[in-house]
Amino acid sequence: MEPKNVSLEMKEYVADMGADTINWCMQCGLCTNLCPWRLVPGETSESFNIRHMQRLAQMGMEGFEEEKSLFACTTCGMCQTNCPRGVKIVDNVRAMRASIVGAGMAPANLRPILGSAHANGNPWSGPREKRTDWQEGLNIPFFGPDKEYFLFVCCHSCYDPRSTRIAKSVTRLLTQAGISFGVIGIEESCCGESMRKIGDEELFQKLAQSNVNLFNDKGVKRIITTSPHCAWTFKNEYPELGGEWEVFHYTEILDQAVQEGKLSFSGKVGKKIAFHDPCYLGRHSGLYDPPRNLLKGLQGAEVVELDRAREMSLCCAGGGGRIWGEVPLGERFGELRIVDASDRGAQILATACPYCVNMLTDACNSLSRQDSLEIAELSEILAIALG
């Protein structure tokens, strides 16, 4: 066996990039056991071991930077739930990636994504001036001093044709509930959450600072987001850059509106619905009840729980930049999720995140189950149930 090189400089560099807790790890391996990569077969599953990767980085040993492993983590946070030392594993992964991406070695498949976010302010290669195309014919109000909330629509739901349905449903529901909201539009940039998780710290700082300046200039005090990824980063990462606002995922606002009698659903749904907890709404933000409360308020809907639910929810595999990854059939976490939903007899698998919708739809199609199981974003079901 070849001896491994140990680099004290690399060890310190990774710690400086944000792996603050990497030395707390005592190598028990509980994290590895909980990781969803253990549930699927294939090359990535065989090579990816989060305990081992952290050990290499902890010691400054070469090997952690191997692309297939380093960029496999979806940042789902499952591993952290059971770490006896409270290691912030997702931060450690981000820091390891930042030490590589910061040196100009981003994986080839992610370079166009990062390039687009630099050039267009979004990772979807969408021209900035087309950010508001989804609003055509809808009369969406602009944010101004007369509006209580600024609605931030995820880039995915501004540009991806399937995902624009989420933006349209959320705005319809907020309007129906009488919520005072408005959008800013083409000056907005991507929240940068995925860019930071990929490890492009410089790009994240650029996007985030531009948003902080914009939102503060416009007088924003309270934000509603369509995606839990945007909500998480606004709430947890923007304050240190000068962005201190009250931030809500749309499900929180709608749940409150229903409880206050400002929103109700008269349409009958008549379907068996299971809810998939998105990692960034559930495990990372602790919001398990608002989407469930909303589903339970639907007439004729039978709501069933998946076996892996709430804190134990199985990741769709779209976080941490993995939405841009290519994974062979049979190795996708989403496929397990489709089987979970089918096992419960669900006719609709609902979720509340544009990335989850994307990943679960792909998985459902790859298993040819699209005729028996519909993948829907919660807002879409609610908008239809408005009648």
Q: Toward ligand SF4, which CB reaches closer, 171 or 351?
A: 351
69 binds ligand SF4 (CB under 6 A): no
Smallest gap from Cβ 32 to ligand SF4, in A, equals 7
The phi-psi region of residue 291 (left if phi > 0; otherwise alpha if psi is between -120 and 50; otherwise beta) is alpha
Say whether residue 73 binds ligand SF4 (CB under 6 A): yes
Report the nearest approach of ligand SF4 to the CB of residue 69 (Å). 10
Q: Which of 18, 19, 56, 77 binds ligand SF4 (CB under 6 A)?
A: 77
DSSP track, 158-170: HH-TTTHHHHHHH
- Measured from the CB atom, is 147 or 284 closer to ligand SF4? 284
Going by C-alpha positions, the residue among 78, 34, 39 that lies closest to residue 282 is 78
Site size toward ligand SF4 (CB under 6 A) is 27
87 binds ligand SF4 (CB under 6 A): yes
Query: Given the complex with ligand SF4, which of 26 and 138 has the nearer CB atom?
Result: 26
Give the other-Cβ count within 10 Å of 221's Cβ: 13
Residue from 6, 28, 105, 138 touching ligand SF4 (CB under 6 A): that is 28
- If one asks whether residue 321 binds ligand SF4 (CB under 6 A), the answer comes out as no
User: Taking the CB of residue 140, how many other CB atoms lie within 10 A of it?
Assistant: 21
Nearer to ligand SF4, 35 or 373 (CB): 35
Stretch that binds ligand SF4, among 35-43, 234-242, 257-265, 281-289 (CB under 6 A): 35-43
Q: Tell me how crowded residue 242 is: count the other CB atoms within 10 A of its CB.
A: 12
Using rule CB under 6 A, residue 39 touches ligand SF4: no
Distances (CA, A) of 370 to 328, 362, 373: 19, 10, 5
Take residue 385 and report the two structure tokens written for it: 């149930």
Among 15, 31, 208, 341, indicate the residue that binds ligand SF4 (CB under 6 A): 31
**C-beta separation of 294 from 79 below 8 A:** no
Q: How far does CA 290 lie from the centroid of its chain?
A: 17
The yes or no reply on residue 51 touching ligand SF4 (CB under 6 A) is: yes
Q: Are 183 and 161 in contact (CB under 8 A)?
A: no
Beta-bridge mates of residue 2: none
Q: Which stretch binds ligand SF4 (CB under 6 A): 29-37, 112-120, 176-184, 197-205?
A: 29-37
Find the shortest distance in angstroms from Cβ 310 to ligand SF4.
16
| Of the residues 5, 23, 27, 236, which one makes contact with ligand SF4 according to CB under 6 A | 27
Query: Interface with ligand SF4 includes 332 (CB under 6 A)?
Result: no
At 15, list the tokens.
């710690």
Kindly state whether residue 295 participates in binding ligand SF4, applying the rule CB under 6 A. no
Q: Is 231 in the site for ligand SF4 (CB under 6 A)?
A: no
Residue number with CB closer to ligand SF4 (65 or 188): 65
CB of 315 to ligand SF4, least distance (A): 6
Q: Tokens standing for 115? A: 């390039």
User: Is 75 near ligand SF4 (CB under 6 A)?
Assistant: yes
Nearer to ligand SF4, 73 or 95 (CB): 73
Helices and strands: H and E segment counts in the chain: 17, 8
Return contacts of 375-378, CB within 8 angstroms, 24+ apart. Answer: 375/348, 375/349, 375/351, 376/348, 376/349, 376/350, 376/351, 377/165, 377/166, 377/169, 377/350, 377/351, 377/352, 377/353, 378/251, 378/275, 378/291, 378/294, 378/295, 378/350, 378/351, 378/352
Decide if residue 90 touches ligand SF4 (CB under 6 A): yes
* Selected range binding ligand SF4 among 23-31, 104-112, 116-124, 222-230, rule: CB under 6 A: 23-31
Q: For binding to ligand SF4 (CB under 6 A), which residues are involved? A: 25-31, 34-37, 50-51, 54, 73-79, 83-85, 87, 89-90
